[in-house]
Structure 1
Amino acid sequence: MAARFTSPTIVYSTPGLQTGHTNFTTQAEIHNWLNDQATALSRSVGVKAALLPMGSSQQGQPLEALVLTRGTGTDPASLLATGRPTVLLIGQQHGDEPAGSEALLVIARELAQGLLQPLLERINVVIVPRINLDGATRGEALGAGGQDMARDHLLLSTPETQALARLSRDYQATVVVDVGEYQVSDIYQQKFGAVQKSDVLLQYSSTANLPEFLTKADEEWFRRPLLAALKGQGLSTDWYYSTSADTADRTVSMGGPEPVTIRNVEGLKNAISVAIYSRGAGLGRLHLQRRVHTHVTAITSILGSTAQRAKDLSQLRPYLDKEVAGMACKGQAAIEVANTPAQYDLQMLDPITGVDKSVTVDWESALALRTLKSRVRPCGYWIAGSSKVAVERLRLHGVKVLEVLEPSAMLGDIYRETKRAGIDKQEGAITNGRPAPKIEVLLVRGVIDAPVGSYYIPLNQPLANLAIAALEPDTQSSFFTNRLVNNLAGIARVMSEPSLKSEELP
């Protein structure tokens, strides 16, 4: 088995990859490393780099990002003024997945001092090598409060995911890359008599209401060149997949369609978004150089594709923003979707001999989503003034929110709860340690009284699809299910363009 995962010819060097090092790069070492790269790059004429404070982790550790650009400054306005696409690279959402973080340190050095620096002629790059500082300190997947940050990108319940949302919003990232590692699990041997083979599992955005052209760009402009780059290095790939712990359940699923992961949420912001997971979680330092090499190869491909498609990307985002905004009050919007059942030949390894073993599995595909529930797309949503936390989270995402300045009446659909049931703790949303309720609703057409201080979220804006994901109440991931909106009477669908005196929240 070990012979299938040989070390690459190149030897990578970061503090955590030094010979004899028993741990991974510490946060203090990451800070010093990034600071050194910013200093080195700033010596080059016309190139700027800076270490950007993003806030603090739940246990008070400083969150930081490295910004690299050939522009007048490293603030958001300066990067936007370059007209170049910005790539946001994020590592270690799970604290026990270190290879991506180590690889991002290598990428930072190559951009600042090495062979990747010429790419800054055509792109800007923002790097967050490690976002789950507290989990990494303990060597555990979850954050200090027990949250799974990888599934918190719609609700933004942690300071870490809030910092990432703010960074993405302010720098208007065109391409977002999540680098992590997947769990090498005994469950596959128990179910299929085989073990996972792929050096890396890949997936782009796959959730409801994504623009068709965004998915085409994900596949044609990014994934296909990425597959070629990995194959050229002798690295095996597959779609991202997982399976349940139930040995009787032989279904294998591609990444879920829920709008909770960063790849799906950034897709709802009309950004190219790719998840790259190397074969490594649970392996400690085993095959570490190969795992880092896998990430360096993949990230280099993404950066190269962004540079090559810089002109196309500068046209894509405004086109998608206009397309999404133009859909307000028209047609149908998917409220709940699911993967599509299929058969798939999973390429795995025999656990005894290490030879290739193809296993045909029941496969839940995210490439063709089934619509379970859809509704007429509203013109916007009304939210009661008491739901200030929900409004704050929407604004962190960059959603346009208007505050009502004079009492108004709007024609809309009011939600009426018809059924309520608890959600299994292993499957449903969890708020305050309790399973959140799953509800069914009936829409009742009526007049919405909008008092002063309540809010209107218009859907004639680029982030309309994200607003739908957050505000339709009867889904597992919604703001209502997760108690950011406490009262079903405090939210309604506005079905005709309202006439109201309002101002946009800054």
Structure 2
Amino acid sequence: MTFLTKPVFSEAKRLQPVWTHRMLKLTTVGSAMLLTACANVQLPPWAGTSNSSPTKTSQPSTSAASTPAAQPAVSRPIASAPQLAALPYNPAIESLFPDPTALYATPGLGSNRQQFSTHTEIATLLQSLGGKAGSGYQLGAAAIGTSQRGLPIQALIATQGQSTQAMTINNNGKPTVLLVGGQRGDEPASTEALLAIASELGQGGLLAPLLQQINIIIVPRANPDAADTASPVTADGTDLTHDHLLLNTPEAQALARLMRNYRPAAVIDLQEFAAGGAFLQKFQAVQRYDVLLQPAATANTHEFINKAAREWFSQPVRSALNQAELSNEWFFQPSAQPGDKSLSMAGLGADTLINASSLKNSAALLIASRGSDLGRMHIQRRVHSLVIAATASLRATAEKSQNLKQVESFVSRDISALACRNTLAIQSIQTPEQHSIRMLQADSGQEVEARVDWNSSLRIKPEQTRPRPCGYWLSSDSGRAVDRLRLQGVQVMQIAEPGQMLADSYNAARSGSSSLVLTRGAIDTPVGSYYITLNQAKAHLATAALEPDTPFSYVSKSLITSPADIGRVVAPPSVVFEEEME
């Protein structure tokens, strides 16, 4: 059915997680309880179809976790203090993070276990689930790529139907949700949580009934090399969490290929954050929150994709965490400057998994649990936090399955229609605000509330704009960039006959300057060069990669070696492409 108008957003029921006391399986409640609504939520109207001015959303509740009566939260200025010792920290703090009543029993969480789940154990568990699918369901384990050291990157693909092949899943009329963990090797709770969730997709599992509404893909460990050494980076030293635009690593390429083939409507990135680290040194305190949340935020993401991430995913996840008495806030991190006590939400670069996914028109959410610097301390609570949040995301996808399909159709058409029109945000900045957060004093364990300078990603402001082109011309020497764009699912056409295009060319402002100026004129387009039209759904991913004067573009990162190899085409071209030839 062709979707011709703006999506209609109707009243919806919010689902809540239910957990019981048992090992390995998350709960024994049946599918009827799983799909029972606990509250009605009226979504506000989604006005407008432009990419500007995201709606401001409410702050997450910070009162989910109860505070002992002897240590009430107080508001006070943050005093300076001598540098504190590394973790472990005050035992009073540890007591505030008890294990959940229901303990998880993935391979890496066994009693007296020192090592987290191994690559072999992950592969064995995912393979075994294939034989546990219910009638009419398919659970397929697959290696989606290989790490730099030759380890397979494992995924579980779950669907109701006859096949887990991409074409079959893409044509079954249900949205797909992708959950990714283990991008960093020192964040083990994300992997263990996804293994626990995967176990509930088999016959009789809590989450199996969701496959009636959605398809689910789980990548429990995206960076297997790093897990061996608890390293935050890949074998070649790349931070995988910031390689989802350039795709320099085989790990990022594997995830991009998976997304290109399966086209997820929602992407959930599970990570962990440090309980102490720079936060401890700056504030003489440790993190209070169990979970930090960050909806995707980057320039040119469609307004409806932003709203879906915030209203259809962030809000239900917060509600589920609050119900489970797990404290939560928006994601934040300290400044890298020693004397700067401001806090910032995750950055606006298009190079993270959630931000790159939002430019592919997927609603995307980062969910981070407290504890990347804790080893095995509080591991059951950390896993529990991520299981609660990720399960709420799956339920939100199921509840909004038809709405997500409508949004996908509308956004694809709307973005395609913007080619050659309006303006494009080249760079955007966060909005400075004041914000209150809670923290735990490292010396006493007392909970305090502090008012801090806060850079928000919920409302971003364009800092540099220019007219939106019709597309981009790339020289025949840009093959590496073309390969990466195609891996992202961007349509790239190769020119079959020589011609010309009206384009803005980039030139240095002056000799030796890094600044660029645009010069308009006809450019030659020889056989073998390329054209990327912006009349396509992933147009804004292409602009993030191809506008040269951004810190994460293919030019600034030398994937395209010279600004002379690229032109901003400002009129629909009349050239012959290979695809058009008989």
Q: TM-score range by the shorter chain?
A: over 0.9
Q: Secondary structure at the match of 1:320?
A: helix
- Corresponding pairs, count: 487
2:192 maps to 102
1:333 maps to 424
5+ long unaligned stretches in structure 1 = 422-437
Root-mean-square deviation over aligned CA pairs: 1.3
1:486, CA displacement in angstroms?
0.5
Could you give the per-residue CA deviations for residues 312-367 of structure 1, whole angstroms, max 9, x where no partner exists? Answer: 11111011111111100000000011111111112211223323211111111111
2:143 maps to 53
5+ long unaligned stretches in structure 2 = 1-92
Query: Are 1:182 and 2:273 an aligned pair?
Result: yes
1:402, CA displacement in angstroms?
0.6
Q: Distance in 2 between matches of 1:255 and 1:186?
A: 17
Q: Secondary structure at the match of 2:317?
A: helix
Q: Give the AA of the match of 1:82.
A: N
Aligned residues of 1:420 and 1:440 also touching (Cα < 8 A): no
1:217 maps to 308
Q: Distance in 2 between matches of 1:302 and 1:29?
A: 26
> Looking at both structures, which has the greater relative contact order when contacts are Cα pairs under 8 Å and sequence separation is at least 6?
2
Alignment of 1:365-384 (within 5 A): 365-384=456-475
Query: Are 1:73 and 2:148 an aligned pair?
Result: no
2:516 maps to 441
Aligned residues of 1:400 and 1:504 also touching (Cα < 8 A): no
Q: Distance in 2 between matches of 1:50 and 1:223?
A: 29
2:104 maps to 12
Q: Give the AA of the match of 2:569.
A: V
Q: Percent identity?
A: 44
2:572 maps to 497
1:419, CA displacement in angstroms?
6.0
Q: Distance in 2 between matches of 1:452 and 1:139?
A: 48
1:246, CA displacement in angstroms?
2.9
Structure 1 residue runs of 4 or more that deviate by more than 6 Å after TM superposition: none
1:21 maps to 113
Q: Distance in 2 between matches of 1:119 and 1:419?
A: 59
Q: Distance in 1 between matches of 2:263 and 2:138?
A: 18
Q: Distance in 1 between matches of 2:227 and 2:570?
A: 47
Aligned residues of 1:204 and 1:263 also touching (Cα < 8 A): yes
Tell me: CA distance 1:420–1:258, structure 2 relative to 1, closer, same or farther (3 Å).
farther
Query: Are 1:364 and 2:439 an aligned pair?
Result: no
1:300 maps to 391
1:32 maps to 124
1:193, CA displacement in angstroms?
3.0
1:434 maps to none
Alignment of 1:103-502 (within 5 A): 103-113=193-203, 114-418=205-509, 439-502=514-577
Q: Give the AA of the match of 2:97.
A: F
Aligned residues of 1:205 and 1:273 also touching (Cα < 8 A): yes
Could you give the per-residue CA deviations for residues 387-435 of structure 1, whole angstroms, max 9, x where no partner exists? Answer: 10000000000000010000010001000112698xxxxxxxxxxxxxx
Aligned residues of 2:428 and 2:460 also touching (Cα < 8 A): yes
TM-score, normalising length from structure 1?
Answer: 0.94
Q: Give the AA of the match of 1:127.
A: I
Aligned residues of 2:472 and 2:569 also touching (Cα < 8 A): yes
Which one has the largest radius of gyration?
A: 2
Q: Give the AA of the match of 2:197.
A: I
Q: Distance in 1 between matches of 2:572 and 2:276?
A: 52
TM-score, normalising length from structure 2?
Answer: 0.82
Tell me: CA distance 1:420–1:213, structure 2 relative to 1, closer, same or farther (3 Å).
farther
1:64, CA displacement in angstroms?
1.8
Q: Distance in 1 between matches of 2:94 and 2:488?
A: 44
Flag the structure with higher strand content.
1
Aligned residues of 1:401 and 1:504 also touching (Cα < 8 A): no
1:155, CA displacement in angstroms?
0.1
Q: Secondary structure at the match of 1:345?
A: strand
Q: Secondary structure at the match of 1:111?
A: coil
Q: Distance in 1 between matches of 2:407 and 2:510?
A: 42
Aligned residues of 2:276 and 2:285 also touching (Cα < 8 A): no
Larger mean Cα displacement after TM superposition, 70-79 or 349-358: 349-358
